[in-house]
Structure formats: C-alpha cells, structure tokens
Amino acid sequence: MKLHLAILTVAFSLVTGASAGPDEEFADIVGIIRQGDQLVAEGKDRRAMEEYQRAQKALLGFEKVYPDWDRQVVTFRQRYLAERLGSWSATEGQKDTAVEEELRLARNRIIFLERASQQYQQQLSQLHAENNRLTAQLREALAIRPAAQEPAAVAQTLTELDSAREEIAGLKKRLAELEAELALLPDPEEARQTAAILKETQKNLTEALNVAEVLRRQNEALRSPTAAPRQEAGPQVDDVQKELLSTRVAMQVAQSELATLRGELAVLQLALAARGTNVADRPGSGRLRPVDDARLALANDRVPDAIRVLNAETASSPENAEAWYLLGRSLGLTGDLAGAERALARTLELAPGSAVTHFELARLHQRRNPNDHGIPRWHYHKAVSLGYPRDAAFEQAIQWEQPAGPK
C-alpha cells in the first residue's frame, strides 16, 4: 500500500508540476527501491535491476540538491543499492561465462558433425563405385562360359571362404565391444537408439555367416572323394563348371557384404566418438533433422529460430522427447520459465530416466525461487542418481549434500 502511495505521489507531482520537499522526494526514491524489491521477489531480476539503477541515479541527484539532509539514511540507501547491483552483476557475469562455454562446445560439435558427414559421403561414393565395379564383373562372368576348373581352384575358393568367415567373426567381436561401450553412455535414449542399429547390423552379420556356411558346404561337396569322377566332356563337366561359377559369384556377394558391414562399423565408430549425437539417424539423407536445425540455430544465437523449428516439430511429432527437451532449454534462454518448465515436464513424461532433463529442471526451479531449495534439490538428486556428473557450484547454491548410504 505504501509503495502504491509513493508511486501515485510521484505521478501527481509530475502531472501538476508541484514542487516537492526533500522528504517527499526521498520517499519517492524509497518507493522505487521497494518496487525493485518486489520485482526480485517475482523472479524478474533484470527489470528489478533497472529500477535499482533508476533509484541510484535519483539518489545521487538528491544528494547534490540536499547535501545536508540526514546523511546516515542517504548513506544506508546508497550501500543497499550498491550491494543489490553488485550481486546482480556478478551473477550475470557467471551466467555469461557459462553460456559462452556452452556455445563453444555446441559449435565444436557442429564442426565435428559436418566433418563426419563429409567423410560418410566420401565413403558412400566409394561404396557405390565398388558396387558398380563388382556388378560389371558379375555380368561379365555370367556371360562367359567358364573352362573346366582344377581341384587347386576349388581349394583356393575354400581358402578365401575361410578367410571371409574369420573376418566376419572379427567384425562380430568388434560389434560386441561397441555394444559394451554403448552401455556406458549416460543417456538411456541414446543407448537405446544405438542398440537398434547394432541389432540390425547383427542381423546382417548373421545372414553373411549363413551365406559363408552354405558356400563352405557346397565346396566341400565338390572336393569330396565320394563325389562322381569328373569327365573330360559331357553333362557332368558342365554341371561342375556351373557349380564353380556359382561359388565364385557367391564369393563376390560375400565380399560385397563385408564391405557394407565395414561401412556400417565406420558410421558406428563416428557416432561413438561424437557421443552427444543421435546415432539412430539414418545416414546418407543429406539433410539435418529438425532438432539438428534447432541445435545449429542455438549455436549461432538464433534462439527465436530454434523455438520456431521446435514448436513445429513437437506439433508434428509430439512423442519426440529430444525436441521437447531442446524447446525447454530455448524457452529458458528467453526468460519464459513457465513455458520451459512445461516443455521439460513433457520430456520426463516421454523419457522418465533422462538425467539431463532432471538437471535442467533443478536449474530452472533454482532460478525461479532462489531461496526455496526443496524442488531443485529433489531434481538434482534424481539427476545424480541417474548418472549425471555432480556439479559442485550448483550443490553449493542449493545447499545440497550427498545422501548417506551405498553409492
């Protein structure tokens, strides 16, 4: 009530042009300070600092006009304003430093993704060229009637098949190692998506092993002592020649399958090196996903563009947890803390085990109510228990302690 009275008094003075004495002018300045305190309580820090700065300027003018008016009271208000403005400047400096670091990491990640995309395009072009070459060789082999093959050629084919089986086994072992590394990733959603790609690759390996086993059995049958003796001419010789031709064609197919598997392993290794990228995306599309467009916009300080892309994505794909998470972060950067909280809450509905979402909610609630540590502590505890690395500065801000018991 006193605040409203002071504001009305100032407005009346400005409208009527009536001159006010030092007591009334000082009361007006105190009213501005209290209005700033009210804005701080509502979580509107930036507007509160503007009011504090306006009050500080008015107080300096008041001191020049009335240098002998109650110095103790004037000095108290000057110190109060200096402490408020100094505390806010330090906090903003820390936030700017954190934002710059996050932007730097985001830009580095974008550069890495661009390089990985270029490498993949080069590998894809090489695979297409190799596929065309093998297809031409296969057509040429089918068009030419092969000559009679000696047992030495059959033995050479079997040796190549055994080598292919060993290489496939090595690839299978490497895939198992990659799967074990994926289990250590902190983001369960990312691990689930990568596991789906591994499962598909495992299926391709199994099919390749089956083809190799069929080829091995066919060649064993060809060199078996119980097989019918080879004639110099006639239908039996033709059958043997056709069988050998089929074996060589199958070998080319197996080699092509191995080349494809090597390409898939290279893509998986790039995804594991990035760790923060979504490895479930199908390579070779040539276009970024909407969430990647949003990440790029955030990295270039185009927060409104990111929000526009993410609003469209969440509307068309309401089950996309990653889009909801990025929307929450983007809204938080604009100061729309209520909208950010709704987007992050939706993220937890879709991905209850997301540690990074719990941490973002802890930070958001700490911003909205700096003196209420209950909700920030709860979300931070959930984030740490889900594998999020501990943040000493944030723990100090919310006065959090590691709960007792087994870790």
Give the start-to-end residue ranges of the domains of the chain: 2-95, 145-274, 290-398
- In this prediction, residue 79 carries a pLDDT of 92
Q: Which residue has the higher pLDDT, 210 or 38?
A: 38
Q: Which residue has the higher pLDDT, 125 or 288?
A: 125
pLDDT, tens digit, 9 for 90 and up, residues 132-181: 887 777 777 666 544 445 677 667 778 887 887 888 888 888 777 776 66
The mean per-residue pLDDT over the stretch 247-262 comes to 52
- CATH 3.50.50.100: does it fit domain 290-398? no
* Residues near 353 by beta carbon (within 8 Å), at least 6 away in sequence: 188, 386
Residue 44 has pLDDT above 80, yes or no: yes
Verdict on whether the full-model pTM lies above 0.75: no
Q: End-to-end CA distance of the chain, in Å?
A: 53
Please give the structure tokens belonging to residue 55: 């009050």
Please give the structure tokens belonging to residue 259: 């080349």
For 57-113, the DSSP string reads: HHHHHHHHH-TTS-HHHHHHHHHHHHHHHHHHHHHHHHHHHHHHHHHHHHHHHHHHH
d(CA 247, CA 149): 12
Residue 89 has pLDDT above 70, yes or no: yes
- In this prediction, residue 17 carries a pLDDT of 42
Q: Which residue has the higher pLDDT, 28 or 109?
A: 28
Q: 149, 239 in Cβ contact below 8 A?
A: no
Residue 113 has pLDDT above 90, yes or no: no
Q: 310, 326 in Cβ contact below 8 A?
A: yes
- In this prediction, residue 378 carries a pLDDT of 93
d(CA 272, CA 194): 9
Please give the structure tokens belonging to residue 217: 């059995």
Least confident residue range of 17-21, 54-58, 253-257, 367-371: 253-257
Q: How many residues does the chain have?
A: 407
